[in-house]
Amino acid sequence: MRQKRYSSDLTDSQWEMVKPYFATERRRRHNLRRDILDAILYLVKTGCQWRMLPGEFAPWQTVYYYFRRWREEGRLQCLLSAVRRTVRRGEGREGEPSALIIDCQSVSTSRSGGIASFDAYKRVKGRKRHIAVDTQGLPWNVLVHAAGDHDTQWALQVLQPIGSHTDRGETVFADSAYRGLETEVERKLNWDLEIVEREDEESGFSVDPKRWIVERTFSWLGGWRRLNRDYERHTDSSETMVRTALLRVALSRLD
């Protein structure tokens, strides 16, 4: 058991909640999987390199091995799915949403390489984080792609996996960048795509109905230094980093 604890660590109650998803038949003197998950949360929160993980955690090679393994298994994605339903029910809502908000965020990439291009509108060379959230700001899908790709190119890829797991979806709120997809969304998903117009015609940030919720989710990501840029070579690693941060946010709402 580690002697030194960090603010990014899971609390005992949070670990008891997620522990069943990391069950193992191997017996150890300490709970390795909790140590690994805390190490990944520390890395995403502080933005350090894998090799710079503090010595209180397991060796960085072990932490990275489990990160890659859980990414390929989709384990963190399944865990996030369970936690967000628990959060919704705890707030007196149905486990599945009837309304979603979709948007994307352009971020610069590092020298690690991988897919990237130039977003002429945001003037950012890197990638876009495309997410769909419910009215509580909880993520229902995350997709990372090149920043130069238009939002409409990936909107259906973001929404379709959600449609296959819920029967309650009715409305998707989006900004004007998604205009023109209304018919296709209705035909393929049987959902209504509602374009939220800006109330303030002046340039700059404005608080728009419904869309402020997804903007708040993006602001939550700003508190995780590893996500201030995209440091990952592969987009599936980028998606897992985002899900890890939002998993911690969701768990905090259960305390």
pLDDT tens digit string along 191-250? 999 999 876 655 555 567 788 999 999 999 999 999 999 999 999 999 999 999 999 999
Q: For residue range 66-120, list pLDDT tens digits in order.
A: 999 999 999 999 999 999 999 999 999 999 999 999 999 999 999 888 999 999 9
What pLDDT, on the 0 to 100 scale, is given for residue 119?
Answer: 93
CA 35 to CA 205: how far, in whole Å?
40
Q: Report in angstroms the alpha-carbon separations of 68 from 19, 51, 76, 241, 244.
A: 19, 15, 11, 11, 13
Which of residues 49 and 112 earns the better pLDDT score?
A: 49
Residues whose CB falls within 8 Å of the CB of residue 167, separated by 6 or more in sequence, listed in order: 96
User: Contact 58/28 with Cβ under 8 angstroms?
Assistant: no
Domain ranges of the chain: 12-73, 95-234
What pLDDT, on the 0 to 100 scale, is given for residue 168?
Answer: 78
pLDDT at 30 over 60: no
Class level of CATH domain 95-234: alpha beta
User: Contact 35/2 with Cβ under 8 angstroms?
Assistant: yes
What pLDDT, on the 0 to 100 scale, is given for residue 111?
Answer: 86
CA 89 to CA 182: how far, in whole Å?
30
What pLDDT, on the 0 to 100 scale, is given for residue 224?
Answer: 97
